[in-house]
Chains A and B, each alone.
Chain A
């Protein structure tokens, strides 16, 4: 089983929710938490662990053998990323950071061996044991790389190597296709939002994504005392989504966030809110 935690915009507390429900649900399931916010992965920091079992993620890159290339330009024409530029006489050159590794150029090249297998390091994946009886899988894009999709795919592949009963994915902010890739396969989408006008606007987008993907969607309102929660309820209803929790702004949550101790492991009263969310998910999945 897989569930996803997402939120239209960054900084709504998505990772806080993901990490805390993971700690709680790990008591009931053999669990993996996947941090698919590959541009800014933070779950390990919130859990207070150092990333382990690093593995490099390499991506295909064409390497031209100019002794064989007939300068037909086919590779450059087919490249949707415009990663290949050609000189006047047709000699191809690669602009490495634009290349997505899709192999379209290799497929169309008419001369065997003119395009050879090159590769580039685009990031890393990690598999980290946590002290909370679950495994954290993290994808981390290398700085300067433009495309996060290949890393999201690689991280999901690494998750598949492990065995688990419940997979929780923590996605990036936004509603672009890397977020849908992260969510893909989930039975439940939890959208973490803020009741501010900005938060509400972004909530609609993530609700729309849940609708298009035909995934049951729940809403968690974070910092619920900082705006008009009724407006969030109204929007959620419009999309047939249920608001399952309100989390008020709390110094304790900030403190535990900063110190890398999930709040559900403490005696602070706010811990109960996250436990209730976890219970509700447990009952849904059962």
Chain B
């Protein structure tokens, strides 16, 4: 089974909850973890991974380059670039901003001098594999600075993870989704059997989770909700009301607990670092509900 954990935006505790859930499920099931937040991966760190066993470069991005020797400086490429990525430098040369180019090749098609603009394949990032000290493997990715959207990296991560699942006879893939609702999230959510949404009771988090829920709905996957920092904003009932009106079951509520940021500094799942904290008690209950309702159900 493939379970994706999503929140719509960072900062609501998605990765610390994912790390703790992995810790709690690892003894009963054969798992693989996928950190699909290729722009700011941190699940590996939270699980204490310091050495990656295998690293694959991902060459997928394309970037346009202009040859100043043959360029006649007509400026057509700059006019036609849909994302305004071509500028004129101080010497009057037309130059592609490599940190914003999407690699669509429109500039190359409209340039009147054949061969002046070439589309080059460049590295878009790396995908890594490690075995955590808890025994299960993890796949993680890191997008290079300034590269185009990272959905392809996430798709490749999940393919690698699926192969490992087959080879090692693993049962469940737990995907820690990226922030946002764009290509990375679509690649994270697509193909999952179940989505677990994480939100905190604040207007901003509600807005983010509502948006990611719409993405989940596209794929017709059942969704569940975990309310994190459940007690930070007692008067706010809209999150729970929304879940109820959409028929999204709430798997549990986790109170704000300073042991969570502390455990992050220790690079450990909070349920391992502070097993007696109130957050840990709550997450253990959530893990039981997940076993009952999602995995066995």
The answer to whether A binds B is yes
Contact B106 A103 (CB under 8 A): yes
The residues of B that contact A178 with a CB separation of less than 8 Å are: 149
A113 close to chain B: CB less than 8 A = no
**Chain A residue at smallest Cβ distance from B201:** A258
Most buried by A among B179, B203, B204: B204
Within 8 A of B (CB), among A96-117: 100-104, 107-108
Contact A144 B39 (CB under 8 A): no
The residues of A that contact B42 with a CB separation of less than 8 Å are: 9, 198, 201-202
A271 close to chain B: CB less than 8 A = no
Number of A interface residues, CB 8 Å?
Answer: 60
A205 close to chain B: CB less than 8 A = yes
Most buried by A among B62, B109, B236: B109
The residues of A that contact B126 with a CB separation of less than 8 Å are: none
Q: A10-B9, A174-B40 are in contact. Are A80 and B103 (CB under 8 A)?
A: yes
The residues of A that contact B265 with a CB separation of less than 8 Å are: 196-197, 226-228
How many Å lie between the Cα of A45 and that of B207 in the bound state?
9
Contact B145 A175 (CB under 8 A): yes
Contact A80 B211 (CB under 8 A): no
Q: A42-B208, A103-B106, A176-B39 are in contact. Are A143 and B45 (CB under 8 A)?
A: no
How many Å lie between the Cα of A46 and that of B203 in the bound state?
9
The residues of B that contact A254 with a CB separation of less than 8 Å are: 232
How many Å lie between the Cα of A226 and that of B40 in the bound state?
19
How many residue-residue contacts, CB under 8 A, span A and B?
Answer: 187
Contact A213 B11 (CB under 8 A): no
A216 close to chain B: CB less than 8 A = no
Contact A40 B145 (CB under 8 A): no
A212 close to chain B: CB less than 8 A = yes
Stretch at the interface among A86-94, A128-136, A146-154, A278-286: A146-154
Per-residue contact bits, chain B 200-231, to A (CB 8 Å; 1 contact, 0 not): 00111001100110110010000000000000
How many Å lie between the Cα of A31 and that of B182 in the bound state?
29
Per-residue contact bits, chain B 100-113, to A (CB 8 Å; 1 contact, 0 not): 11111110011000
Tell me how far the C-beta of B45 lies from the nearest C-beta in chain A, rounded to whole angstroms: 6
Contact B186 A198 (CB under 8 A): no
A260 close to chain B: CB less than 8 A = yes
Q: A40-B181, A184-B97, A198-B45 are in contact. Are A174 and B39 (CB under 8 A)?
A: yes
A3 close to chain B: CB less than 8 A = no
A181 close to chain B: CB less than 8 A = yes
Contact B109 A78 (CB under 8 A): yes
Contact B12 A11 (CB under 8 A): yes
Contact A10 B11 (CB under 8 A): yes
The residues of B that contact A12 with a CB separation of less than 8 Å are: 10-11
Contact B147 A197 (CB under 8 A): no
A208 close to chain B: CB less than 8 A = yes
A34 close to chain B: CB less than 8 A = no
Q: A101-B82, A146-B149 are in contact. Are A198 and B179 (CB under 8 A)?
A: no
Tell me how far the C-beta of A27 lies from the nearest C-beta in chain B, rounded to whole angstroms: 25
Report which of B83, B110, B180 forms a contact with A181, defined as CB distance below 8 A.
Answer: B83
Q: A42-B207, A102-B82, A174-B40 are in contact. Are A149 and B109 (CB under 8 A)?
A: no
B151 close to chain A: CB less than 8 A = yes
**Chain A residue at smallest Cβ distance from B233:** A258
**Chain B residue at smallest Cβ distance from A208:** B145
Per-residue contact bits, chain A 195-235, to B (CB 8 Å; 1 contact, 0 not): 01110011001001100110000000001001110000000
Q: Which 6 residue pairs are nearest across A and B when measured between Cβ atoms?
A: A11-B11, A10-B10, A174-B39, A39-B180, A143-B214, A9-B40
Q: List 26 A-B contacts (CB under 8 A).
A: A12-B11, A39-B182, A42-B207, A42-B208, A101-B82, A143-B215, A144-B218, A146-B183, A146-B186, A149-B102, A149-B148, A149-B149, A173-B9, A173-B39, A173-B180, A174-B179, A176-B39, A176-B147, A177-B100, A180-B97, A180-B99, A197-B45, A198-B15, A205-B145, A254-B232, A258-B202
Chain B positions near chain A (C-beta within 8 angstroms): 8-12, 15, 39-40, 42, 45-46, 62, 80, 82-84, 97, 99-106, 109-110, 119, 143, 145-151, 179-183, 185-186, 202-204, 207-208, 211-212, 214-215, 218, 232-233, 236, 261-262, 264-265, 267
Chain A positions near chain B (C-beta within 8 angstroms): 8-13, 15, 39-40, 42, 45-46, 78, 80-81, 100-104, 107-108, 141, 143-150, 153, 172-178, 180-181, 184, 196-198, 201-202, 205, 208-209, 212-213, 223, 226-228, 254, 257-258, 260
